[in-house]
Structure 1
Amino acid sequence: MKRRPFLKTTLAASALILSGLFPFSAHAADTIKVGILHSLSGTMAISETSLKDMALMTIDEINAKGGVLGKQLEPVVVDPASNWPLFAEKGRQLLTQDKVAVTFGCWTSVSRKSVLPVYEELNGLLFYPVQYEGEELSPNVFYTGAAPNQQAIPAVEYLMSEDGGSAKRFFLLGTDYVYPRTTNKILRAFLHSKGVADKDIEEVYTPFGHSDYQTIVANIKKFSAGGKTAVISTVNGDSNVPFYKELANQGIEATDVPVVAFSVGEEELRGIDTKPLVGQLAAWNYFESVENPVNQEFVQKWKAYAKAKNLPGADKAVTNDPMEATYVGINMWAQAVEKAGTTDVDKVRDAMAGQTFAAPSGYTLTMDKTNHHLHKPVMIGEIQDNGQFDVVWQTDGPIRAQPWSPYIEGNDKKPDYAVKSN
């Protein structure tokens, strides 16, 4: 047997693999790479770190059941560090260097809008798990959080109702970026349609990372002297902690001025003494406290995972709405890949239409057949002294998202199916 030519061939093949010129390696062929694009540092880490951890738990769970298409999922975690241009850079890295089949990520709309052109250019697939302002419908994104008609509008309707306190004046407080501004544009038009005048609507914005709410809370007190007032908060990230602390400092209670938050859940309340906040509200599509067998198992799994992985604050681990949306999104994507028989983005996109999943919210959620949004229930919860929420109002079942709000002029002419934004 002539060993030298065989040796040469083997060495040449090895060199090709090591140099990256060989079309695939065994490792790449044996796994499906999944991108996780969440801020693990900076102002949004308070909200996004748990979404990264939930994604990892869900991937572990799927892998333990045999993976997807007989392959294990391999998470690729990056940290865009609450830096919006860095989201686009990290997203491009995930698609072009790491070759991920799908990405789960973003919290703020400014981060999603930073990533969007990259994913449309390279035909990547992003699952976005957070409530947002709508006014977008990309073929490269599946939106597993709420559109305004699945959170903001029902919350304000509740505040105006007798059960919600019959509010007549509205203080709209938000972080200064696209989600709060667009949501408040929609809410202002909605309030006008209900006969609320501009003099009874106040709109205030603060930068990301803002920490001094003394003047703003004093202004809320002053504004509330003019009639029954509610605050609608679209404050995001770690600014929620000083805002709620200042409400307590100035003695504002839910019975005086109810605050309904769209970006505060169980995770954000972990760092706050919630006793002075009892009765304040949040609007979501899921709360940890909802009672059903699916949620009981979901919460138990998360607490066990947090403990096993020694996550920070594992002894007080909580679930929240965007964590549930992350869990649902990853499972739906896995189902769609199995249905398509491939991770090819175009085929998975088609297979996502009409996917269903029995969610921890207690409802079977459906991915809409055309508009890339989940049909979701709406829930309003009151903060309890243990940092959990008591659900005080909810829809009878899941409702279909309206990405293009009827309260923005011209939206009636927008298509109810995905179209590239560029």
Structure 2
Amino acid sequence: MPTSPSKNVIPVGILYSVSGDYAVIGREMLNGILLAIEEINANPNYDFTLAPVVRDPGGSLDKYHEYCHDLLHRHGVRHLIGCYTSAARKTILPLVEAANALLWHPARYEGFESSNSVIYLGATPNQHVIPLLRWLLQEHDAEIYHVGSNYVWSWEMDRITREAVTAAGGSVVESKLLPLGEEDVSELIGDIITRRPKVILNTMVGKSAYSFYRAWYQASQHQPWLNQPLKLSMTLCEPEVQLIGAAALEGYLVSASWFQSIDSAANRDFLRCYRQRFGDQVSPSVDSQSAWLAGHLLARAIARHGNAEVDGVRQAVLLDEMDSPAGPIRIDADNNHCWLTPHLARCHAGKLESFWQADAPVKPDPWLAWTDLDHLGKGGANA
């Protein structure tokens, strides 16, 4: 990437798994931050350039730790952008905090964390879990069978869901959490057929999720009942729809802070630039958009502060507001999380079609400190 010799060069660590169980997500997230860095470096208004130092941990937590340590202590990186799973984030967070560095974390996550060394750009539970549960409680019988991956993301999704739906008179009839990467889902689907719940909530990630979606679709060809439950996902995104196939995902309802189908000038510009750079075959996700946003917010904060010193950049980003592809955003000074606009979408003919969005950006509540889980069935989203 050419740089002007008159501009200061600032190294930025990039940690995304573009190989391994969730490579399709990692590749699109990497695309998002690389596009942002190219746009930043081409902008004559910046007196610096960002130099990406990219590492692929391949989904290995040991590699995340090793590569993060190397970026911080051999390359002198003070700003890192990366991590998809919470397990990866929690693995590198002690290193980032000890080095007084800053992790720009784009992925939606389970909440219940707030570090001064992280700028959280992904949705917190009150911005993606709660809107979907509120809609469910208003529109359907909330008799839920939860399938997930056995780590902190699904643990917290299960706890929040149980608390919310039980208070509203619903129930979680079963929770089955498979090891990360587990692809044998035949026993799981057999148990669902036996239990016959009214709602399936899927919080699986990576290959486990892909195997479940495909196996469910294949089983539904011989078990007509499998077409009856309402199917919800907290993780499904556009590149996975492309990977898994439209037929297997028809009718799924998904909650996120961004979809390709959002109709706004900022989103149309983002999609046009993304496809011009990476080709029409690509399919960016909510996490791709957030990775792109992380790069631009970092650059804007560096410019506002005057250099890349972490404490100053951290304060500078709190003063910024941006009209992003996901709508108006800003970082909350109380917890370093992003104000975001919740959206719900329905998967139809291979597209995630947004059918509801909040009236305004929602303040992040990572600890669910002021979100009233006891009254979700009263007022809110309607399809």
Regarding TM over 0.5, the answer is: yes
1:42 corresponds to which of 1, 12, 20: 20
How has the CA–CA distance of structure 1 residues 88 and 161 changed in structure 2, closer, same or farther, with 3 Å as cutoff? same
> Which runs of 5 or more structure 2 residues have no equivalent in the other structure?
372-383
Aligned to 1:248: 217
1:253, 1:277 within 8 Å by CA — same for their partners in 2?
A: no
1:168 to partner: Cα distance = 2.6
Aligned to 1:401: 364
1:171 corresponds to which of 125, 128, 145: 145
In structure 2, what residue type is equivalent to 1:161? Q
Aligned to 1:345: 310
SS, match of residue 401 in structure 1: coil
1:33 and 2:11 correspond: yes
Aligned to 2:338: 374
How many residue pairs get matched? 366
1:82 corresponds to which of 59, 62, 78: 59
Aligned to 1:155: 132
1:316 corresponds to which of 268, 281, 289: 281
Cα distance in 1 between the residues matched to 2:189 and 2:226: 14
1:253 to partner: Cα distance = 8.2
Cα distance in 2 between the residues matched to 1:382 and 1:255: 15
Which residues in structure 2 correspond to 1:14-413 (within 5 Å)? Answer: 30-66=8-44, 68=46, 70-162=47-139, 166-197=140-171, 200-224=172-196, 229-251=198-220, 256-307=228-279, 315-361=280-326, 363-385=327-349, 387-406=350-369
Deviates more, 1:272-281 or 1:371-380: 272-281
Cα distance in 2 between the residues matched to 1:341 and 1:352: 12
After superposition, the C-alpha distances for 1:306-356 in whole angstroms (9 at most, x for unaligned) are 13xxxxxxx421121111111112111111111111100011111111421
1:190, 1:407 within 8 Å by CA — same for their partners in 2?
A: no
SS, match of residue 270 in structure 1: helix
How has the CA–CA distance of structure 1 residues 193 and 372 changed in structure 2, closer, same or farther, with 3 Å as cutoff? same
1:59, 1:73 within 8 Å by CA — same for their partners in 2?
A: yes
Calculate the TM-score normalised by the size of structure 1.
0.82
In structure 2, what residue type is equivalent to 1:365? I
SS, match of residue 243 in structure 2: coil
1:86 to partner: Cα distance = 1.8
1:232 to partner: Cα distance = 1.4
Calculate the TM-score normalised by the size of structure 2.
0.91
Cα distance in 1 between the residues matched to 2:193 and 2:126: 29
Cα distance in 2 between the residues matched to 1:28 and 1:404: 45
SS, match of residue 301 in structure 1: helix
After superposition, the C-alpha distances for 1:212-265 in whole angstroms (9 at most, x for unaligned) are 22221222232225xxx2111110112222111111112178961122111110
> Which runs of 5 or more structure 1 residues have no equivalent in the other structure?
1-25, 308-314, 409-422
Hey, which of these two has a bigger chunk of strand by percent?
A: 2
1:119, 1:140 within 8 Å by CA — same for their partners in 2?
A: yes
After superposition, the C-alpha distances for 1:253-299 in whole angstroms (9 at most, x for unaligned) are 89611221111100111112212422111110100011111111111
Cα distance in 1 between the residues matched to 2:100 and 2:333: 20
Identity of aligned residues (%): 27
1:40 to partner: Cα distance = 1.8
Cα distance in 1 between the residues matched to 2:257 and 2:71: 30
Cα distance in 2 between the residues matched to 1:253 and 1:244: 15
After superposition, the C-alpha distances for 1:119-146 in whole angstroms (9 at most, x for unaligned) are 0000111011111111110000011001
SS, match of residue 366 in structure 1: strand
Cα distance in 2 between the residues matched to 1:28 and 1:86: 35
Give the alignment's Cα RMSD to 1 decimal. Answer: 2.1
SS, match of residue 53 in structure 2: strand
Cα distance in 2 between the residues matched to 1:253 and 1:274: 20
In structure 2, what residue type is equivalent to 1:258? L
SS, match of residue 28 in structure 2: helix
If asked which structure has higher relative contact order (CA below 8 Å, sep 6+), I would say 2
1:195 to partner: Cα distance = 2.5
1:169, 1:224 within 8 Å by CA — same for their partners in 2?
A: no
SS, match of residue 360 in structure 2: coil
Cα distance in 1 between the residues matched to 2:192 and 2:138: 21
After superposition, the C-alpha distances for 1:385-418 in whole angstroms (9 at most, x for unaligned) are 1x2111122211110111112499xxxxxxxxxx
- Structure possessing the higher radius of gyration over alpha carbons: 1
1:159, 1:230 within 8 Å by CA — same for their partners in 2?
A: no
In structure 1, what residue type is equivalent to 2:266? V
Cα distance in 2 between the residues matched to 1:174 and 1:143: 23
In structure 1, what residue type is equivalent to 2:368? S
Cα distance in 1 between the residues matched to 2:226 and 2:299: 42
Cα distance in 2 between the residues matched to 1:253 and 1:364: 42
In structure 2, what residue type is equivalent to 1:130? A
SS, match of residue 133 in structure 1: coil
Cα distance in 1 between the residues matched to 2:187 and 2:117: 42
In structure 2, what residue type is equivalent to 1:202? E
SS, match of residue 260 in structure 1: strand
